[in-house]
Amino acid sequence: MDKLIISGGSSINGELRISGAKNSAVTILAASLLGNEPVRICNVPHLRDITTMIELLGCMGIEVVIDEKMSIEIHANTIKKFTAPYDLVKTMRASFLVLGPMLAHYGKAEVSLPGGCAIGPRPVDQHLRGLEALGAEIVMDEGYVKASVDGRLKGAHIFFDVKTVGGTEHIMMAATLAEGQTIMENCAREPEIVDLADCLIAMGADIHGVGTDTIVVNGVEELGGCTHKVIPDRVEAGTFLIAAAATGGCIKLKDVMPEHLEILLLKLKEAGADITCGTDWIELDMHGMKPRAVDLVTAPYPAFPTDLQAQMIAMNTIAQGSATVTETVFENRFMHVHEMNRMGANIKLEGNNTTAIIKGVETLKGAPVMANDLRASVSLVIAGLIASGETEVDRIYHIDRGYEQIEEKLQSLGAKIRRVAG
């Protein structure tokens, strides 16, 4: 099992191009199942989750063509099987999203219940209730969801009990081929949902209100193909900005959308960073200074994203002052805290492990660490960058699910980091 070895103490400086958004790309790959013509997806990051989704499509007999620039072309009408097996779906939660598109296009689907990061329960009940409201017949059998519909799905009025990114995406995709109008209320508003809708509209879907609480989908008889460029990955961008802030560095990110990171940029300004932005770039400069401690509460977009919470805790461990970080989106999302405390951080968990109180220390000390989810793993990389001595980060297969060539990118910014075979 590969590990990352980090020699801390160097600041993060330089320019970096941000990859395409993983959370957009995997969902758009699932959406390609709706089309009667080839769908070409550009700016796709080279990540394990992408490889898993491509493998899943391939095992269903779908023709997938990948060029040297990681542009992916999919022709869903080559499908031969309508089953998404446990061995693949268990490794990545987003692969469950093939259920709705297969059902809407072909009238049947059999998909294993999902896996993914161990960050608390993320039930798919809202996905299934939404599909049932559209007329799907759903049976649970030995860990598989078996769905079918007689004819086409039917438009419906759906209200989500809580904001759900996956649920919003799933029902929106299925509704594109439903007969009549679907009104979805209390929808998630994340940029990745807007990106998915842009792709579906390019395929011929009739969708309105994306990016607001209410989405209206007027079903069409069929969808065609399109060419779509995936938006930049706001979580990757945020991670590198936080790494630069934590190490007192200066970084310029290119191919990024600053409007997707407004709350993070405000928090980093609170931490003492000078930040300037253009249409597709962000520059952050700490002028060699330590950050100031910053409080935050995670919540659905456009509030502070849960996927950047662990990285901000890493920054706060050596910040001036004390900070309170409250997690409201997922349970079990403070697994990185105990590892950081082993490195000399002063972090206490309160409120049934939903709030972290961080008192900044002078420095962290390198140590062997490991984590159990994607963002916790990358937060330990940031902790290693600011620590004295050597840090060994184990279980980096989590990082490889969401960060493209992370050690090469950090090396280009002056970090002393290398990958070794475990």
- pLDDT tens digits, one per residue of 254-306: 999 999 999 999 999 999 999 999 999 999 999 999 999 999 999 999 999 99
pLDDT of 119 above 70: no
Looking at the chain, the whole-number percentage of residues with pLDDT higher than 70 is: 98
In three-state secondary structure terms, 31 is helix
pLDDT at position 113 is: 84
pLDDT at position 351 is: 85
pLDDT at position 28 is: 98
Residue 117 known to be catalytic: yes
Number of helical H runs and strand E runs in the chain:
14, 26
Give the Å distances, CA to CA, from 277 to 159, 221, 239, 261, 380.
Answer: 37, 43, 17, 11, 28
Cα dihedral 64/43/302/235 (nearest 10): 100
Asked whether 374 and 93 are in contact (CB, 8 A), the reply is no
pLDDT at position 87 is: 87
pLDDT at position 118 is: 41
The set of residues, in sequence order, having a beta carbon less than 8 Å from that of 79 and lying 6+ positions away, is 33, 60, 61, 62, 102, 106
More confident residue, 70 or 203: 203
- pLDDT (average), residues 191-205: 98
pLDDT of 141 above 80: yes
In three-state secondary structure terms, 248 is coil
pLDDT of 94 above 90: no
Q: At residue 134, what are phi and psi to the nearest 5 degrees?
A: -85, 0
pLDDT of 116 above 70: no
pLDDT of 225 above 70: yes
- pLDDT (average), residues 339-367: 95
Write the burial class of residue 281 (CB in 10 Å: 0-12 exposed, 13-18 middle, 19+ buried).
Answer: middle
Give the Å distances, CA to CA, from 191 to 206, 224, 302, 307.
Answer: 18, 23, 9, 14
Give the confidence band of 333 by pLDDT, cuts at 50, 70, 90. confident
d(CA 121, CA 13): 38
The DSSP symbol for 270 reads H
d(CA 307, CA 226): 30
- pLDDT (average), residues 192-201: 98
Looking at the chain, the whole-number percentage of residues with pLDDT higher than 90 is: 84
Prediction pTM value: 0.95
- pLDDT tens digits, one per residue of 32-90: 999 999 999 999 999 988 999 999 999 999 999 999 888 999 999 999 999 998 888 88
- pLDDT (average), residues 317-335: 92
Residue type, 296: L
pLDDT at position 117 is: 41
Asked whether 335 and 373 are in contact (CB, 8 A), the reply is yes
Of 59, 117, 187, 199, the catalytic one is 117
**Structure tokens belonging to residue 349:** 């968990």
pLDDT at position 398 is: 86
Q: What angle do CA 408, 400, 273 make, to 5 degrees?
A: 60
pLDDT at position 120 is: 42
What residues does 35 pair with on adjacent strands? Answer: 223
More confident residue, 373 or 119: 373
- pLDDT (average), residues 353-360: 95
pLDDT at position 115 is: 56
pLDDT at position 121 is: 44
pLDDT at position 161 is: 93
pLDDT at position 409 is: 98
